[in-house]
Structure 1
């Protein structure tokens, strides 16, 4: 049974006046802010915290096998700074980190990082886990905001600052005991985004005085939006204010650790880079506590679409997703930017038409600049093929199935043929009540235009062409009519017109060819050809015939007989 508290919470409505309970986050006093006019021109340093922040947020934390697999993935895609865990959290964490160091699998150009609270025993344990590392970052933190000082710790500002100072001194002392490792230090004034800026600066300056960083050996100052509490422009103001007012700024690398509580963790990180930050912490696909961390994939590929090499390789994004989903036991959402199964897929008819035309224009342009409507990035750059870009359901238009037929069969349907076929596809989609795949559409097309052998009234067996003394063309051939072979002949100005004359004079099919087109279905000596014929009857009825063959002339004749089947029986009925 529900408790009274639980029942009361469930029945509590949203407030008609939320200002009675909540307050707008205050602005930062920065009237001459510079970040809005800045442009990102180079990638930041990347720090993956998948193995720590991401790991502590999943229902079943990763075991050592999964952690090792995830670590290997991060190295493969080019992450150079990896937070591998919280060694003081338990023996499992400690053993993984210590084993990783001893395994020798950490490349020389990759620096591993561990996190610790500012407590003597935890700091010592963290250094012990890294014994033997060629280089490492020890990441020290303590919360500094008023809510934590007053509610959680019940400490003064001075008390909180002293916690940071004592922790920094221990970093220096423990590192001195292990001179064979190249040590780097990181300090986070946790809850920075909801703390007073002057106090964050005061604490960070005190830590820097203890550590003694230089331009060549900088400290990392991580400024987390531990709980995202304001719009991303305010976070950017906080970062710019901090960078402007930090003494000895050249001796510090400013790092960002944005959470996604308001849904703008990526935007906050991007604006923070514009405001002067040097480094971004986050997780692949944004895993993390509550609503997650900044998504490193999204930030990196956002840069890529602006012509910036992010230094991270997502050329096989499906392999990255497979590993992340396996290790986290969490799915990457189908609509997740760049990685989701459906992010490059259009079902809407107008979207499909624009994308199809965009690809056609892309092929015709001489320059390599990517300009395809609705696709901010070329799916091929991420290892995706084009077959899934357009998929067909009851919401789709003629551009959708035309794209599918072009990708799967090589057919480039004339626009009026697309319109003719669209009603059959729409009927099929409504009848099935589901998405249509390439085979559905192809079988529908074959039945509609009499490409199935068993449904044709007229079927070409063989033929020959000759020229009369008056210059006209003579078609002579064998046509199977309702299962019986029959020799036929006709004369016209060209091959197609001579076949049309044959069908008119022999079988009484009165129609005219109003349009004819053809194209190859590939290249090389084995290329097949497709031919399309639009026909019209004296009563105004119109339709289409389609022919396929290795020989383009024969494809044209097959298209004419397809038209004759349609004139004789009407469009073929697709079998659903």
Structure 2
């Protein structure tokens, strides 16, 4: 893909490994929106999903393959031929298709997971790479649990994979066990020992179980790898993956130590973070590097004094380079549409006229209730407005009676396809009463798995941002998120957002099954 020996390819697996994070399931439309943004941002390879996993995953990978303009689109597959063939079918319409196939190579995985001897695994490596290469020219092979694999066997597998047609070799730290020195040494070892190593690009894929994912990733680059596999916000299995934004900015900021470069437009990193956070309903940790809310915030008097004299005293990168405005303009109830439109542009939003008008009306309503409007308030308001624009069910009114003398009660009115429905309910607390009212209007079997509240900004009048996770009777998980100055209103909106997602997923499943049935 590149003849520049210092060019690092960014392989984003937010839509595959990221979505495997419990509770991070995304809708079809959310996956398409994220894929479009990753392509715009300059990601080199988008791993769009695991096509054999479900009809929905196949449909999403296929749709992404058809619409992505620049990036390679990859589909993941196990060593089984049916997996590889399914992945090939999903990515066949991509301008630049890739099949990413893997098999475990460590003793513990071969013995207990695969229940196969090393020679049998080696033959599977040859077979799977040959099968994949018969479908596409761009084949990536991964040695699952590479960091706990015996070196001699790892080298044999790599040599066989390249000979069978693999063009990229991925050596993942699947369980986040390695240290940076060990990971770098492993790449140096295989690149020096494998005879045909020069015919493939080596890739890193690190998990954060010990908090070393990004450190291991850059160590792998120093050892000779030139592709990094990562996710936006570091989401992924267990403790997550190496974070795309941290890797890219580590290379950009410390280029004296890491003499590499990527094709990422770094000014879009902050928007990418917010897009993925909104789609998954996973809030970004406040002190998260690069994209956290406090990443460029200073409260200490000593730090503030230093920043006033020279921003280099306490900031090693300009916030503008990652898409964060260095100043926060205070918006209020006297602000007009033009000022609101300009603020949205600064924050990276381009809304259609009707979307802008809806967002402005909600902004004015918020400004009447809240003295200071911060950037985070506007972002929460607009993200919710965009996310719920096509929802069938919306919260119209909520009246709650709470206090020490229970039971608490709630009167809720919902708009369902233009029809208003009102119910009164009681509960063990105002939130329970509100959710019981929802259940009366929309009977369902979904179970509440998570209810989480945090403030969008500081102050007693801050908007509450509520995250709700529901699990239906089939074990399907969906997340809903909403923000409002009233915590109970935000709670109702978040619950309804999750129910709307559940309805959309079921409709999507029904559509896919109908299509396959017709075929």
* Same fold flag (TM > 0.5): yes
Provide, for residues 423-444 of structure 1, a one-character-per-residue CA deviation record: whole Å limited to 9, x for no partner.
xxxxxxxxxxxxx9899xxxxx
Native 8 Å contact 2:35 2:64 kept in 1:
no
Provide, for residues 266-288 of structure 1, a one-character-per-residue CA deviation record: whole Å limited to 9, x for no partner.
00011110111111011012111
1:55 aligns with 2:19: yes
Native 8 Å contact 1:345 1:388 kept in 2:
no
Relative to structure 1, the CA distance from residue 252 to residue 57 in structure 2 (aligned partners, 3 Å threshold; closer, same or farther) is same
Of 196, 210, 224, 2:164 maps to 210
Unmatched runs of 5 consecutive residues or more in structure 2: 330-370, 375-519
1:224 aligns with 2:176: no
Of 96, 108, 117, 1:147 maps to 108
Unmatched runs of 5 consecutive residues or more in structure 1: 1-39, 176-182, 214-218, 360-371, 390-435, 440-576
Relative to structure 1, the CA distance from residue 206 to residue 76 in structure 2 (aligned partners, 3 Å threshold; closer, same or farther) is same
Aligned positions of 1:164-179 closer than 5 A:
164-175=125-136
Aligned positions of 1:446-461 closer than 5 A:
none
Relative to structure 1, the CA distance from residue 132 to residue 316 in structure 2 (aligned partners, 3 Å threshold; closer, same or farther) is closer
How far apart, in 1, do the equivalents of 2:101 and 2:120 lie? Answer: 16
Relative to structure 1, the CA distance from residue 348 to residue 342 in structure 2 (aligned partners, 3 Å threshold; closer, same or farther) is same
How far apart, in 2, do the equivalents of 1:388 and 1:262 lie? Answer: 35
Native 8 Å contact 1:301 1:310 kept in 2:
no
Relative to structure 1, the CA distance from residue 317 to residue 49 in structure 2 (aligned partners, 3 Å threshold; closer, same or farther) is closer
Relative to structure 1, the CA distance from residue 388 to residue 302 in structure 2 (aligned partners, 3 Å threshold; closer, same or farther) is farther
Q: Secondary structure at the match of 1:89?
A: coil
Native 8 Å contact 1:335 1:343 kept in 2:
yes
- Structure 1 vs Structure 2 CA RMSD: 2.3
How far apart, in 2, do the equivalents of 1:83 and 1:270 lie? Answer: 20
Q: Secondary structure at the match of 1:88?
A: coil
1:331 aligns with 2:283: yes
Measure how far apart 1:58 and its partner are.
3.8
How far apart, in 1, do the equivalents of 2:118 and 2:190 lie? Answer: 18
1:255 aligns with 2:219: no
The runs of at least 4 aligned residues of structure 1 exceeding 6 Å deviation read 436-439
Aligned positions of 1:175-190 closer than 5 A:
175=136, 183-190=137-144
Measure how far apart 1:230 and its partner are.
2.8
How far apart, in 1, do the equivalents of 2:46 and 2:262 lie? Answer: 16
Q: Secondary structure at the match of 2:75?
A: strand
Native 8 Å contact 1:260 1:294 kept in 2:
yes
Q: Secondary structure at the match of 1:255?
A: strand
1:348 aligns with 2:309: no
Q: Report the number of matched residues.
A: 326
How far apart, in 1, do the equivalents of 2:269 and 2:44 lie? Answer: 18
Native 8 Å contact 1:43 1:303 kept in 2:
no
Rg larger for: 1
Native 8 Å contact 2:18 2:231 kept in 1:
yes
How far apart, in 2, do the equivalents of 1:41 and 1:137 lie? Answer: 21
Q: Aligned residue for 1:509?
A: none
Of 288, 308, 325, 2:236 maps to 288
Native 8 Å contact 1:115 1:140 kept in 2:
yes
How far apart, in 2, do the equivalents of 1:438 and 1:123 lie? Answer: 51
How far apart, in 1, do the equivalents of 2:319 and 2:93 lie? Answer: 42
How far apart, in 2, do the equivalents of 1:84 and 1:301 lie? Answer: 24
Provide, for residues 397-432 of structure 1, a one-character-per-residue CA deviation record: whole Å limited to 9, x for no partner.
xxxxxxxxxxxxxxxxxxxxxxxxxxxxxxxxxxxx
Of 86, 102, 126, 1:125 maps to 86
How far apart, in 1, do the equivalents of 2:93 and 2:324 lie? Answer: 41
Q: Secondary structure at the match of 2:46?
A: strand
Native 8 Å contact 2:172 2:205 kept in 1:
yes
1:69 aligns with 2:33: yes
Measure how far apart 1:244 and its partner are.
1.1
Q: Aligned residue for 2:51?
A: 87
Provide, for residues 359-378 of structure 1, a one-character-per-residue CA deviation record: whole Å limited to 9, x for no partner.
4xxxxxxxxxxxx1110101
Measure how far apart 1:316 and its partner are.
4.1
1:312 aligns with 2:274: no
| TM-score of the two chains, using structure 2 as the length reference | 0.60
Q: Aligned residue for 2:410?
A: none
Relative to structure 1, the CA distance from residue 333 to residue 170 in structure 2 (aligned partners, 3 Å threshold; closer, same or farther) is same
Measure how far apart 1:43 and its partner are.
4.3
